[in-house]
Amino acid sequence: MNKDVKGGLAEDRLLLRNMMQQDEDAVESLYKDYYPVARHLVVSNSGTEDDAKDIFQEALIVLYDKAADPTFELHSRLKTYLYAVCRHLWLKRLHQDQRQVRLTETMEEQVPVEEALLKHEEADRQFEIMNEALVALGEPCRTLLEDYYLRKSSMQEIMERYGYTNTDNAKNQKYKCLMRLKKIFFSQYNTQQEE
């Protein structure tokens, strides 16, 4: 075991890894451990409980987007990291609402999170466009693609489920659906990028 890694940081890395594996216990323990800190930050700086929930949830998504990068390694404690992200997000929100507030801070130590927030914005954009594209794609295309690519159904199963007469027809249909989805997705994705 690496000697310069403090026990606490190793624990945080394990927790983060479990979170990335979508482990429910990990997500719950993040809420249990750190939501009160985020809540305190938001509520004592003219926010509501619901604002706090929004901010904390977004902070965890920021962390998720950042840690999705395989080269990312956590170098600060999760508490410090999440606090820094929440702080940024809440300041941004206050700024958007044109509210001038001096934050009452509870934590001294700060870590840079600007890069993570940029990455998060890009991930968010892609996520929303894919969401819209999947809705626009409609049924049965959407479910067919999800069955094949996400739930790993075989062509045989898809043929039976959607009533195609042979697997070649099913493959053709899968192909058409995929091409349509790509077209819808990239038409949005590329134009927005050029703006």
Partner 1 sequence: MNDLTHLLHKIDRYLNGQMNEAEERAFEALRRDNGDVEKEFHEQAAFRSMLQDHADRKAFIQKLHAAEEKITAHSGMRSEKGKNNIFQLSRQAWRMTGIAAAVAVLVATAALWITGGFSNDSGSTYMILRREIDNIKKSQTALMKDFNSSHTRPPADPGSFGGTGFAISSDGYITTNRHVIRNADSVYVQNNKGEAYKANIVYQDPVSDLAVLKVEDSAFMLPALPYTLAARSADIGEDVFTLGFPKDDMVYGKGYISAETGFEGDTCAYQIALTVNPGNSGGPLIDDRGNILGIVSGKQTSANDIAFAIKSHYLKSLIDSIPAMNRKCSILHRSTNSLRLSRVDQIKKLEDYMFLVKVYN
In the complex, which residues of this chain contact partner 1 (CB under 8 A)?
A: 1, 7, 10-11, 13-15, 17, 20-25, 27-33, 35-36, 39, 49, 53, 56-57, 60-61, 64-65, 68, 70, 123, 126-127, 130-131, 134, 145-146, 148-150, 152, 155, 168, 171-172, 174-175, 178, 182, 185
Instruction: Measure the CA–CA gap between 40 and 35, rounded to whole angstroms.
Output: 8
- In the bound state with partner 1, the residue whose beta carbon lies nearer, of 98 and 147, is 147
As a whole number of angstroms, the distance between CA 170 and CA 172 comes to 5
Instruction: State the minimum distance, in angstroms, from the CB of residue 14 to partner 1.
Output: 5
Name the one residue in this structure whose structure tokens are 């940081």: 9
Structure tokens at 151: 């739930």
> Closer to partner 1 at the Cβ: 70 or 100?
70
Residue entry with tokens 């195609």: 164
Side-chain half-sphere exposure of 124, counting CA atoms within 13 A = 12
Chain centroid offset of residue 21 CA: 13
Closer residue to partner 1 (CB): 10 or 95: 10
Q: Find the shortest distance in angstroms from Cβ 100 to partner 1.
A: 27
- Long-range contacts, stretch 27-34, CB < 8 angstroms, 24+ apart: 27/60, 30/60, 30/78, 30/82, 31/56, 33/78, 33/79, 34/78, 34/79, 34/82, 34/83
Question: In this complex, which beta carbon is closest to partner 1, that of residue 21 or of residue 165?
Answer: 21
| Least distance between partner 1 and beta carbon 38 (Å) | 11
Rounded least distance, CB 21 to partner 1, Å: 5
Nearer to partner 1, 22 or 100 (CB): 22
